[in-house]
Structure formats: structure tokens, C-alpha cells
Amino acid sequence: MIALAPSDPSYPSALRDLERPPDPLWIDGLIDVLARPAVAIVGTRRMTGYGERVARELAMACAAAGIVVVSGFAQGIDTAAHRGALDGGGQTVAVLGESITTFRTTVRGRRRPLVPRIVASGALISEFAAPLTPRYWTFAQRNATIAALARAVLVVEAGEGSGALITAEDARRLGRTLFAVPGPLGSAASIGTNALIANGFARALLAPDQMLRVVGATDAACAPESAPTDPVLAALRDGPLGVDEIAQRCRMGGAELRSKIALLLVRGQLAPLADGRFRRT
């Protein structure tokens, strides 16, 4: 583990956009990963299955395009993003809201086995020295660092009052491109993301290429392959349909179908029409 001061030539230049750049910045892993083009993928700790799938697939798309995934290594969307980047053979940076030493000592559950994988190909970083434990203010400060490191920030799911909305505000303040994933109607986990889009604060992310273009990387291999057996896509094989018609053909309930349609929209496999119907892309 090393500590970099802002005056160090290896210090991430993007962090100098902050009013108070971390001084020092503690790094456990590869220093050069912090100089590469990056996208931040963040969201609620209380993710849904839909949010987990989207975070993982978008992180894997970044990995395929050689884009570093930055997140906060919290439970939920953050961890799904880190895991997706690693599983896709990419690099990821975990920005901690506590000292690296404290985190390594206390981390448990599904996150623990990810630590050596992140350090081997990416980095754990923190602006907090040992033995500082996490506080509300440390996470708020950490969120600004996440936004600064990335060229674009993507909020996958965020309920009302989610800390991910703080990261979104930091992204806007720092002039980073802000994306949000549209969520199913009625989903508490998507209240914040849908509001960001509705209020014009964030662009609706409908396909991975939108995000990758911002950081100067597009790759056809980044888009998840269409699953020929997907019931919704199969129902639309002969032409556009409305939600009720899709539900009848797929024998799917309303909540499940809304989640499926939203996921296919994000993947870029489905497009909405002006009359309320959907078509395959």
C-alpha cells in the first residue's frame, strides 16, 4: 500500500478537479489503473434482481471495451458492478469510505473474496488513514471522489434519499456526464433514477454504447447478445405489440413483465414506439 500526494506525478489528474483533492490518496493495487478512462457505476444497497443484472451487464460491457469501472464497494449495486467488471476480465477501482486497513479487517460476506481480485487487477483506494472507521461524512466525501475519477457516472438504482443521488449531484457539479437507468414503474428502488431522468438531470441509459461513447470507446462485443429464447423477444418476432398483448403471449404477470421490458430497453434489444407498443431492435 502506498500514499500519493497531489504533487506526485502519479497522482490521478482527475482528482485535481475536486475542491480538496485527497491528500494523501492511499492505494492498494495498481497505480496506473487510476489514469485510464473510467465509468462510475453506483446505486442503492437495496438493489432488486433487475438492478443487479443491469449493473453486472453494464460493467461487463465496460470491461469488454477496456474501460475501468469505478464504484464504492458498498453492498448492492456497487458490489454487482465490481463483480461484473472482474468477471468480464476488466479492471475495477473500489473507492472506500474508510481506511483500507479497517476495511480489509472488517469486510465480510460476498465482498470479501472480491478484495484480492480487485487488488490484483485494479485497486482499492481511500483518502482516509487507519484506523478511521466509516462515518456518514466519510461516505459523502467518498462519493465525490468516485464522481471525479470517472468521465461518466451511471446510477443504476436509487431509492428516495439514496447515497447514490449524492454521487449524481457531485457528477453534475464536476461536469461529468450523468446517466440513469430507467426503472420499472412502481419500483421503490428506481424512484431516484426515474426522477433524475424526468427532471432532466440525467440522460436515460438505453444501451451500453451511449455510455461508452462518452469515454471514447465503442465495441459491438460490449452489447449483451440477444437471447433467442427470451419470451418477450420471441413474442415480438412478427412485429410490434402492446404490453397487454405481450403479457398474453408470454403468460407473464405485470411486475415481472415491466422488469423484463425495462431490462431489454437498457440492453438496447427493445425500442418503444410513439403509440405505446414495443418493437425488437
Of the three residues 181, 200, 222, the one that is the final residue of a domain is 222
User: Could you tell me if 117 and 182 lie in one domain?
Assistant: yes
User: Could you tell me if 141 and 264 lie in one domain?
Assistant: no
CATH value at residue 74: 3.40.50.450
pLDDT digits over 99-131, tens only?
999 999 999 999 999 999 999 999 999 999 988
Gap between the Cα atoms of 143 and 162, Å rounded: 12
Of the three residues 179, 195, 222, the one that is the final residue of a domain is 222
Cis peptide before 12 (omega within 30 of 0): no
Q: Could you tell me which residue, 212 or 203, shows the higher pLDDT?
A: 203
Number of structural domains in the chain:
2
Gap between the Cα atoms of 183 and 164, Å rounded: 15
User: Could you tell me if 274 and 153 lie in one domain?
Assistant: no
Q: Model pTM greater than 0.75?
A: yes
4 pairs with which residues across the strands? Answer: 25
User: Could you tell me if 48 and 119 lie in one domain?
Assistant: yes
Range(s) of the domain holding residue 249: 231-280
User: Could you tell me if 17 and 155 lie in one domain?
Assistant: yes
pLDDT digits over 20-68, tens only?
999 999 999 999 999 999 999 999 999 999 999 999 999 998 998 899 9
> What length is written for the chain?
281
Average pLDDT over residues 223-252: 79
User: Could you tell me if 128 and 266 lie in one domain?
Assistant: no
Average pLDDT over residues 246-259: 83
> Hey, what amino acid is at 124?
L
Q: Which pLDDT does position 217 carry in this prediction?
A: 67
User: Could you tell me if 146 and 265 lie in one domain?
Assistant: no
Average pLDDT over residues 124-143: 89
Residue 201 has pLDDT above 60, yes or no: yes
CATH value at residue 272: 1.10.10.10
User: Could you tell me if 90 and 48 lie in one domain?
Assistant: yes
pLDDT band at 208 (very low <50, low <70, confident <90, very high): confident
> Reduced to 3 DSSP states, what percent helix, strand and coil does the chain have, rounded to the nearest 5?
45, 15, 40
Residue 228 has pLDDT above 60, yes or no: no
Of the three residues 199, 222, 245, the one that is the final residue of a domain is 222
User: Could you tell me if 274 and 189 lie in one domain?
Assistant: no
Average pLDDT over residues 170-191: 94
Take residue 127 and report the three cell numbers written for it. Answer: 483518502
User: Could you tell me if 218 and 244 lie in one domain?
Assistant: no
User: Could you tell me if 252 and 148 lie in one domain?
Assistant: no
Average pLDDT over residues 235-243: 90
User: Could you tell me if 197 and 257 lie in one domain?
Assistant: no
For 165, residues 6+ apart whose C-beta sits below 8 A from its C-beta are: 155, 158, 192, 196
Gap between the Cα atoms of 114 and 95, Å rounded: 14
Q: What is the DSSP string of 140-190?
A: HHHHHHHHHH-SEEEE----TT-THHHHHHHHHHTT-EEEE----TT-GGG
Residue 183 has pLDDT above 80, yes or no: yes
Are the C-beta atoms of 155 and 181 separated by less than 8 Å? yes
pLDDT band at 159 (very low <50, low <70, confident <90, very high): very high
